[in-house]
């Protein structure tokens, strides 16, 4: 009886438990279903995200592959033909403000000998104010003085990398203005643009400024003379021989205004680098290989304003050269050769000048390179004189248009002669001297940004070194 009672009691308890409402069961099932759907959606979203990332990665890989193919083919960057049209121009009016600025020459340096940049910017006092008895350095068109044994070691001190900031074995540092006498003489108009305050620009003086001065009966270059031998007339340009001197396929133009070029001392600046084809070298792929424009690392492109600025500078100097050569200098058989006389007269007979005209498009992709002041970053390519660099650009462009207003290349391999190495030695010696503190208290205080500082009582004039500081 008791067991029946207990069983009935349990049954009564079971039957007494209220059943779950039907609505609650539905909500629970719905919630479980929603969670499963949410989990499935999340899984699908994660899968889609993974697939999208993979697709994006493949797209980027494909884009890089396409860009590399374009780089390899030489079609990645805007070429000379796709950047510029050509148009016909005339001589500049001598009342033109920019041309007048150029004719006035560069302002005299505002620094003293102790902290000047003699070897970087052609120093006016050393370059132009030569004693009357100074003779012009003799430069032949076939120089046999080539010290190749020390070529690499000394040049790498100044040009450790090329204009693309790379170190490529076997590259040669070359002249911007050509090194031989007959070719350099085609730039007879240039010295007055570089130096101010001199009215009497005879042919002999122009040549001494370009080639260098020497003492009587001694063909040894005087220190800091001769634009051709200066460090800032040289550059380590990839493929210069093949694509500038042999064929006019490469143009490098400073991104500067005329005023910035005229006022330049030794500071860094940017430039555009553009390649193109000619009838001699029709394969843009080979030109890209010569100039290393087929490499995809560290690529920086100029914006449209920078491209326009460089184009305007190139246009102006082409017109300035054309204008200057309207007046043939006083040339005689006694001072120069018949070939120079013929060249000057031929150029003066040109009736018009061909200029680059920027095409009307916003899709330019022009490579931008950087030159630095040597004193700022010795491990980068030192800045050549921008006026000499734009002269080289004018020479290349003029050769492309077959006007040949100035000489573009050497009659033979552009080897350095003894005078170039002497100039390089002078530059290295000078830069090393700049690393030493001045023995003059006033100059040292100025260099340290403390002009007017009181001189210590224990200062030993003329005997200064690291231990004294």
Write the DSSP assignment of 224-278 as a string of letters. Answer: T--GGGSGGGEE--TTHIIIIIIS--EEEEE---HHHHHH-SS--EEEEEEE---
Q: Do the domain assignments include residue 8? A: no
**Quick one: 262 and 229 in the same domain?**
yes
**Quick one: 413 and 448 in the same domain?**
no
CB 462 within 8 A of CB 444: no
Q: Do the domain assignments include residue 71? A: no
Rounded to whole angstroms, the Cα distance separating 353 from 316 reads 11
Rounded to whole angstroms, the Cα distance separating 280 from 277 reads 8
**Quick one: 24 and 108 in the same domain?**
no
Q: Do the domain assignments include residue 181? A: yes
pLDDT digits (tens, 9 = 90+) for 181-201: 778 888 989 988 988 755 678
**Quick one: 384 and 446 in the same domain?**
no
- φ, ψ for residue 150 (rounded to 5)? -115, 5
pLDDT at 137 over 70: no
pLDDT at 304 over 50: yes
Q: Which of 30, 99, 78, 64 is nearest to 361 (CA)?
A: 78
Q: What is the pLDDT of residue 373?
A: 79
pLDDT digits (tens, 9 = 90+) for 89-120: 999 988 889 998 888 887 765 444 433 333 33
Burial 89-126 (b: 16+ CB within 10 A, else e): eebbeeebeebeebeebbeeeeeeeeebbbbbbbbbeb
Per the structure block, which two tokens stand in for 252?
């490098």
**Quick one: 36 and 95 in the same domain?**
no
What sign does the dihedral 232-91-105-447 (CA atoms) show? Answer: negative
Sort strands 174-175 and 301-302 into parallel, antiparallel or unpaired: unpaired
Percent of the chain with pLDDT over 70: 62
CB atoms near residue 6 (< 10 Å): 10
Q: Do the domain assignments include residue 3? A: no
pTM: 0.72
Q: What is the pLDDT of residue 310?
A: 96
**Quick one: 421 and 461 in the same domain?**
no
Q: Do the domain assignments include residue 73? A: no
What sign does the dihedral 208-212-216-217 (CA atoms) show? Answer: negative
**Quick one: 319 and 214 in the same domain?**
yes
In the chain, the number of structural domains is 3
**Quick one: 120 and 221 in the same domain?**
yes
Most confident of 24-38, 274-288, 293-307: 293-307
The region of weakest confidence among 56-60, 134-138, 310-314 is: 134-138
Q: How confident is residue 418, by pLDDT bands cut at 50, 70 and 90? A: low
Select from 64, 97, 121 the last residue of a domain: 64
Write the DSSP assignment of 192-226 as a string of letters. Answer: HHH--S-----HHHHHHHHH-EE-TT---BPTT--
CB 101 within 8 A of CB 260: no
For residues 328 and 81, the model is more confident at 81
**Quick one: 156 and 290 in the same domain?**
yes
Q: What is the pLDDT of residue 130?
A: 61
Angle at 75 between CA 72 and CA 81, to 5 degrees: 145
Per the structure block, which two tokens stand in for 128?
């132009």
CB 275 within 8 A of CB 424: no
**Quick one: 150 and 256 in the same domain?**
yes
Rounded to whole angstroms, the Cα distance separating 83 from 361 reads 9
Q: What is the pLDDT of residue 354?
A: 95
Q: Do the domain assignments include residue 13? A: no
pLDDT digits (tens, 9 = 90+) for 343-388: 778 888 889 999 999 998 778 889 999 988 766 556 677 888 999 9
Per the structure block, which two tokens stand in for 415?
């080897």
367 contact partners, CB below 8 Å, separation of at least 6: 77, 272, 273, 274, 293, 299, 300, 301, 302
Q: How confident is residue 273, by pLDDT bands cut at 50, 70 and 90? A: very high
**Quick one: 104 and 251 in the same domain?**
yes
Q: Do the domain assignments include residue 70? A: no
Which residue has 């009342």 as its token pair?
95
Q: How confident is residue 271, by pLDDT bands cut at 50, 70 and 90? A: very high
Burial 149-179 (b: 16+ CB within 10 A, else e): eebeebbeebbeebbbeeeeeebbbbbbbbb
Residues of the domain holding 41: 20-64
**Quick one: 175 and 272 in the same domain?**
yes
Q: Do the domain assignments include residue 12? A: no
């Amino acid at each position: 009886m008791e067991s029946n009672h207990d069983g009935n009691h349990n049954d009564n308890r079971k039957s007494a438990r209220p059943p779950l409402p039907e609505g609650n069961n539905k909500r629970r099932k719905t919630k479980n279903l929603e969670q499963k759907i949410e989990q499935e959606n999340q899984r699908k979203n994660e899968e889609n995200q993974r697939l999208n990332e993979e697709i994006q990665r493949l797209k980027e890989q494909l884009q890089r592959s396409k860009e590399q193919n374009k780089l390899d083919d030489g079609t990645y960057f805007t070429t000379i033909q796709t950047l510029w049209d050509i148009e016909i121009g005339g001589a500049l009016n001598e009342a033109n403000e920019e041309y007048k600025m150029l004719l006035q020459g560069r302002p005299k340096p505002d620094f003293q000998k102790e902290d000047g940049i003699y070897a970087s910017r052609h120093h006016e006092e050393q370059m132009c104010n030569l004693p009357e008895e100074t003779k012009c350095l003799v430069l032949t068109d076939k120089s046999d003085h080539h010290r190749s044994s020390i070529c690499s070691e000394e040049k790498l001190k100044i040009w450790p990398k090329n204009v693309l900031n790379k170190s490529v074995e076997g590259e040669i540092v070359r002249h911007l203005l050509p090194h031989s006498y007959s070719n350099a003489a085609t730039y007879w108009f240039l010295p007055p643009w570089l130096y101010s305050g001199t009215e009497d620009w005879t042919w002999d003086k122009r040549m001494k400024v370009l080639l260098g001065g020497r003492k009587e009966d001694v063909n040894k270059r005087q220190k800091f003379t001769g634009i051709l031998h200066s460090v800032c007339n040289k550059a380590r340009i990839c493929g210069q021989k093949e694509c500038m001197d042999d064929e006019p396929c490469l143009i490098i133009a400073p991104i500067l205004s005329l005023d910035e070029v005229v006022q330049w001392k030794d500071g860094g600046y940017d430039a555009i680098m553009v390649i193109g084809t000619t009838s001699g070298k029709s394969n843009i792929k080979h030109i890209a290989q010569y100039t290393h424009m087929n490499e995809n690392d560290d690529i920086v492109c100029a914006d449209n304003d920078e491209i326009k600025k460089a184009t305007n500078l190139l246009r102006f100097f082409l017109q300035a050269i054309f204008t200057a050569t309207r007046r043939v200098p006083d040339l005689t058989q006694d001072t120069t050769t018949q070939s120079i006389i013929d060249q000057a007269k031929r150029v003066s007979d040109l009736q018009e000048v061909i200029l680059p005209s920027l095409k009307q498009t916003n899709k330019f992709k022009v490579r931008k390179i950087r030159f630095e002041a040597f004193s700022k970053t010795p491990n980068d390519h030192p800045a050549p004189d921008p006026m000499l660099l734009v002269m080289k650009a004018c020479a290349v462009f003029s050769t492309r248009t077959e006007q040949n207003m100035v000489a573009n290349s050497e009659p033979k391999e552009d080897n350095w002669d003894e005078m170039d190495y002497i100039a390089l030695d002078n530059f290295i010696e000078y830069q090393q001297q700049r690393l030493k503190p001045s023995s003059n208290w006033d100059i040292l205080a100025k260099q340290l940004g403390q002009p007017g500082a009181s001189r210590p009582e224990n200062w030993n004039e003329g005997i200064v070194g690291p231990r004294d500081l």
